[in-house]
Amino acid sequence: MKKISSIDLFAGVGGMRIALAKALKKIGYIDDCKLYSEIDCYSQQTYGENFPITKLIEDIKSVAKKDIDVMIPNHDILLAGFPCQPFSKAGISKRKGLKRAYGFEDKEQGDLFFNILDILNIKKPKAFILENVQNLKTYKNGEALKEILKKLRKNFYVPEPEVLDAQDFGLAQRRRRIFIVGFSTFNGQFNFPLPTYKKTTVKDFLDSYPQKKYTISNLLWSSHQKRKIKNKKAGKGFGYKLTYPSDKATITISARYGKDGSECLLYRGENKNPRKLTPREVFRLQGFPESFKFSVSDLQAYKQAGNAVPINVVEKICLNVVKYIFNEKKEDKKVA
């Protein structure tokens, strides 16, 4: 089978790589991932369980611009779910509380886009797919996104980004993310995939026999209920969210879900304490296959699943991106 080469930056546990591989398989190609970057050791562990032979660069910031041509292999497609915390509403709020910089001014995570940009401009892949939180679209009245697009469009054709929701692509989770794609060669207008609107309910993604440990204790359930009443009186948030198996979707499952499960407690019946989703269930809500392996603690598994991309969405984008590449013609102009 023919191969399409890729690199997987800020890879987490490999969700974008799985999505690309699934898309390529549908048209008779296989993914040849040359390298991945991931700084979290627990995510590296899970990635290694599922993709055992892939070169790793832990911190992409460790690759100086002058060394990119040597250290980063040539590739057809660059994948990058670059850190979203500096641009997310929760991340900005937390950073403000800690009197830390956020957005591009966050020198730990916020400026990592520029490392991606350097790699793109030097290695010049045929295409790239970037993912981030939808708040990036409106952060600083959209100025941050405008800056990103302006810099990308110097060397690539970059259509207007799209915000897509996982629940519109067969996943029972409301998860809106912004996707930015680009191409080294212009071949007409690129179209993002249309929603499938496949009907699902939360029940479709649940374990048949979840372990008892995921049912929350009387003490925690009482604490959740008291906090909700207190917060409601103070006009602060909701405290916890009760989700029913018959619901069309959960709310967005975040990386902090393992803390207390408050954002999605599953209803088990009257006079019964609700339960948290299991790690496997959260991975399912992100579109991960049953064959996906993870042996980390529940806390780390929740974090990994919460930070992952919705695979169903990314797979559809990848399919459109690859078809766009294959439709290139010799007479197409290079984008200046």
One pLDDT digit (tens) per residue for the chain, 336 residues: 799 999 999 999 999 999 999 999 999 999 999 999 999 999 999 999 999 999 999 999 999 999 999 999 999 999 998 875 544 445 444 434 444 544 344 444 447 889 999 999 999 999 999 999 898 898 888 888 999 999 999 999 999 999 999 999 999 999 999 999 999 999 999 999 999 999 999 999 999 999 999 999 999 999 999 988 888 888 776 678 999 999 999 999 999 999 989 999 999 999 999 999 999 999 999 999 999 999 999 999 999 999 999 999 999 999 999 999 988 443 334 443
Delimiting residues of CATH 3.90.120.30 domain(s) in the chain: 202-285
Beta strands 242-243 and 265-266: pairing type?
A: parallel
Architecture of domain 2-198+310-326: 3-Layer(aba) Sandwich (3.40)
Catalytic residue among 33, 41, 84, 318: 84
- Please give the CATH number for the structural domain made up of 202-285: 3.90.120.30
Catalytic site residue 84?
Answer: yes
Rounded Cα gap, residues 99 and 237, in angstroms: 22
- The burial of 171, by beta-carbon neighbours within 10 Å (0-12 exposed, 13-18 middle, 19 or more buried), is given as buried
Closest CA to 325 of 10, 11, 29, 1: 29
β-sheet with 275-276: strand ranges across: 242-243, 265-266, 275-276
- The burial of 239, by beta-carbon neighbours within 10 Å (0-12 exposed, 13-18 middle, 19 or more buried), is given as middle
Delimiting residues of CATH 3.40.50.150 domain(s) in the chain: 2-198+310-326
Tell me what pLDDT residue 254 has: 93
Asked if 7 and 73 touch (Cβ cutoff 8 Å), the reply is yes
Closest CA to 308 of 2, 25, 15: 15
Residue with tokens 């830390």: 100
Q: Which residues contact 97 (CB under 8 A, 6 or more apart)?
A: none
Asked if 267 and 243 touch (Cβ cutoff 8 Å), the reply is yes
